[in-house]
């Protein structure tokens, strides 16, 4: 990584931009807008300028581009190439905490080499959203040292690209994984031990996502339990982790602070934004979400926890 002098305000995210086919007990969608970088951006936009780096194929609809632009997301880093957009097909049973992957078609991501522009290279905050760890590592080679680097991943990459992921984690400040992933990755079956093992590999902040049970937020020696917002209606948990990450890192980028208290406040925002996302399929709810609704639900949530 190159040394940065001051850095560019805002947040750069590199990750999947997808067409998702999803079935939950409450409905289904075919080739709907999704992807880790997309959910992340739509959540983080409430806090700071978000710049998305990714690739789509010629089947990616102009209306998806128009929506993301309308939401204020900087798409100068979104490449469009010949071929098909990344496609994920998944389903959920009554256990909404676990997605069952039926198909992962990398398509244009198979040969993707991110081309970072000055504003990405010098970004103060970087999110390596869920995508092949090799792509995440390539980005790390090109950026100037940001203030915070956060990284997400999933079982698919833990199993198929473990070595690359280990390389990435060495340079990362914040790691987000769900509880079964961190256990699988570290080989530890108790969360506290798994977090300790993960911290030894690089990250000093670890977020353990626990679906409807919320998240554990470990910050050095301190830790916080964040219950999820209790919802009267949930439709599709896809993107919950990414939108949590968007609210979380977006808030950190906005505040510019690095204290454990700020990390805790950021996790509250992550929890609250994610709760909106799971109330609809695709980006339907997040795209309509207003700052006012976000603030109101945050205040109700804070009253609901001890």
Q: For residues 172 and 165, give the distance between their C-alpha atoms in angstroms, rounded to a whole number.
A: 11
Rounded least distance, CB 5 to ligand AMP, Å:
33
User: Which residue's CB atom is positioned nearest to ligand AMP?
Assistant: 34
Stretches 64-72, 142-150, 193-201, 235-243: which one binds ligand AMP (CB under 6 A)?
A: 235-243
- Six-digit token string for 159: 């199993």
- Classify residue 24 as exposed, middle or buried by CB count within 10 Å of its CB (0-12, 13-18, 19+): buried
- Six-digit token string for 99: 């997605």
130 binds ligand AMP (CB under 6 A): yes
Pick from 10, 11, 13, 20: which binds ligand AMP (CB under 6 A)? 20
Stretches 12-20, 141-149, 250-258, 260-268: which one binds ligand AMP (CB under 6 A)?
A: 12-20
Angstrom distances, CA of residue 228 to CA of 200, 243, 270: 28, 13, 10
Pick from 156, 180, 258, 284: which binds ligand AMP (CB under 6 A)? 156
- Rg of the chain over all Cα atoms, to the nearest angstrom: 18
238 binds ligand AMP (CB under 6 A): yes
Q: Where are the alpha helices (DSSP H) in 143-290?
A: 155-160, 162-169, 179-186, 191-200, 240-255, 260-277, 284-288
Site size with ligand AMP, rule: CB under 6 A:
18
CB closer to ligand AMP, 37 vs 294:
37
**Which residues form the interface with ligand AMP (CB under 6 A)?**
16, 18, 20, 34-36, 39, 88, 104, 130-131, 154, 156, 238-242
């Amino acid at each position: 990584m190159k040394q940065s002098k001051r850095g560019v305000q805002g947040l750069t995210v590199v990750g999947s931009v997808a067409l998702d086919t999803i079935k939950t007990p409450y409905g289904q969608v075919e080739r709907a807008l999704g992807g880790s970088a997309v959910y992340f951006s739509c959540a983080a936009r409430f806090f700071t300028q978000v710049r998305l780096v990714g690739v789509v194929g010629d089947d990616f609809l102009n209306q998806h581009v128009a929506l993301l632009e309308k939401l204020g997301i900087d798409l100068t880093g979104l490449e469009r190439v010949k071929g098909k957009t990344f496609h994920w097909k998944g389903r959920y049973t009554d256990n909404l905490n676990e997605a069952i992957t039926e198909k992962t078609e990398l398509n244009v991501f198979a040969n993707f080499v991110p081309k970072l522009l000055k504003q990405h290279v010098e970004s103060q905050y970087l999110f390596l959203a869920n995508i092949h760890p090799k792509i995440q590592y390539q980005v790390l080679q090109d950026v100037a040292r940001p203030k915070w680097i956060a990284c997400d991943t999933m079982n698919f990459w833990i199993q198929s690209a473990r070595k690359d992921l280990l390389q990435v984690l060495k340079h990362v400040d914040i790691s987000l994984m769900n509880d079964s992933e961190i256990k699988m990755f570290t080989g530890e079956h108790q969360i506290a031990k798994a977090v300790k093992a993960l911290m030894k590999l690089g990250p000093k902040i670890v977020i353990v996502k626990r679906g409807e049970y919320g998240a554990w937020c470990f910050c050095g020696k301190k830790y916080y339990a964040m219950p999820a917002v209790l919802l009267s209606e949930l439709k599709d948990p896809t993107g919950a982790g990414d939108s949590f990450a968007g609210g979380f890192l977006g808030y950190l980028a906005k505040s510019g602070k690095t204290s454990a208290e700020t990390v805790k406040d950021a996790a509250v925002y992550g929890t609250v934004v994610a709760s909106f996302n799971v109330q609809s399929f695709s980006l339907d709810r997040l795209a309509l979400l207003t700052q006012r609704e976000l603030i109101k639900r945050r205040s109700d949530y804070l009253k609901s926890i001890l």
